[in-house]
Amino acid sequence: MPSPSTFTGSVPGNYDLYMGPLFFEPYAEDLVARIDRSKVQQALEIACGTGRVTRHLRNALAPAAMLTATDLNAGMLEVARQKVAWEHVQFQVADALELPFADNSFDLMVCQYGYMFVPDKLKAFSEAYRVLRPGGMLLFNTWDAIEHNPLSNTVSNVVSDYFPGTGAADFYAIPFSMNDREAMIQWLQGAGFNNINIERVTKTANSTYASDGARGLIMGTPVFHTITGIDATAVENVIAVATEKIASIYGDNPCSSEMNAWVAQAWK
């Protein structure tokens, strides 16, 4: 699991600026469309990052519903606080493996692209089950294998080729590591969930420029710190190579690529 310290400095801002609209917005909209707001008075979001889903959740929930948004990374939360400084939203640092909430506290728990980074999936889902009220829903998504997310795969290969033998692209394996549907079902059942639905959802990553994807995947992830640790002057050169490669495959002005994820719903 990457340390929260790796999402520091300029990384959270670039993550939100480039990664958010390109990769996360389409799936954020998909998640909140699955919520029955009439059944939610207390909602919890974990791994809220820079607040993209938080904003959609607050708009989707009933006006009086309370939303608690958490993340392990204080830098990410600071960006989220600035974006979603709204009534009935509270932010706090929290670990998915040790949620600081009482049993049976929430009607809904949401996590967009966070569980991939959690080292103990069964414990994390057990914590979700514990804090949900009877009848409450856990709603989350996770990326399919990187081979089914070609734009990300392209940038990963560029970084790996640019810095052979250094492990510069190793981080990219983590976000795409939780792609086994049957394993997810087993973890959820082991945590106590029985009513489970998991489906593969295909969306399109659209951006104005090919450079958006290159900058997001390099400057908006811990790969940025890895690259600068190897050669502080190389970042813009790597971005240029990645941009050229992306443009040659997916176009430029506009740029478009398929992406695939698993979306899961489980009820207590």
pLDDT of residue 13 exceeding 50, the answer is: yes
- For residue 205, the cross-strand partners are 257
For residue 75, what pLDDT is reported? 86
- 155 within 8 A of 218, measured Cβ to Cβ: yes
pLDDT confidence of residue 2: 41
With respect to residue 160, please indicate whether it lies within any of the assigned structural domains: no
Say if residue 210's pLDDT is above 50.
yes
Residue 56 sits in a domain whose CATH number is 3.40.50.150
3-state secondary structure 13-33: HHHHHHHHHHHHHHHHHHHHC
- Please check whether residue 22 is in contact with residue 43, taking contact to mean a CB–CB distance below 8 angstroms: no
Residue 4 has pLDDT above 70, yes or no: no
Average pLDDT rounded to a whole number, residues 197-212:
97
Where do the DSSP E strands lie in the chain? 42-46, 66-71, 89-93, 106-112, 132-143, 195-207, 255-267
Q: How confident is the model at residue 159 (pLDDT cuts 50, 70, 90)?
A: very high
Q: What is the mean pLDDT of residues 123-140?
A: 98
Where are the extended beta strands (E) located within 47-165? 66-71, 89-93, 106-112, 132-143
Tell me what pLDDT residue 34 has. Answer: 97
For residues 191 and 74, the model is more confident at 191
Q: Has residue 115 been placed in a domain? A: yes
pLDDT > 70: percent of the chain: 97
Q: What is the pLDDT of residue 15?
A: 87
Strand order of the β-sheet with 89-93 is 89-93, 66-71, 42-46, 106-112, 132-143, 255-267, 195-207
Could you give the number of structural domains in the chain? 1
Q: Is residue 215 part of a domain?
A: no
The reply to whether 225 falls in a domain is no
Domain membership flag for residue 166: no
Asked if the structure places residue 256 within a domain, the reply is no
Which pTM does this prediction carry? 0.94
219 in any annotated domain: no
Q: What is the dihedral of CA 261, 185, 29, 171, to 10 degrees?
A: -50
266: β partners: 138, 196
Q: Residue 183: inside a domain, yes or no?
A: yes
Quick one: average pLDDT of 23-28?
96
Residue 106's domain comprises 4-145+172-207+261-267
Are 188 and 125 a contacting pair, CB within 8 Å?
yes
pLDDT confidence of residue 176: 97
Give 47-98 pLDDT, tens digit per residue.
999 999 999 999 999 999 999 999 999 888 998 999 898 889 999 999 999 9
Q: Which tens digits make up the pLDDT trace of 215-262?
A: 999 999 999 999 999 998 999 999 999 999 999 999 999 999 999 999
Average pLDDT score over residue span 29-43: 97
Cα 247 to Cα 160: distance, rounded to the nearest angstrom: 18
pLDDT value for 16? 87
pLDDT value for 7 = 60
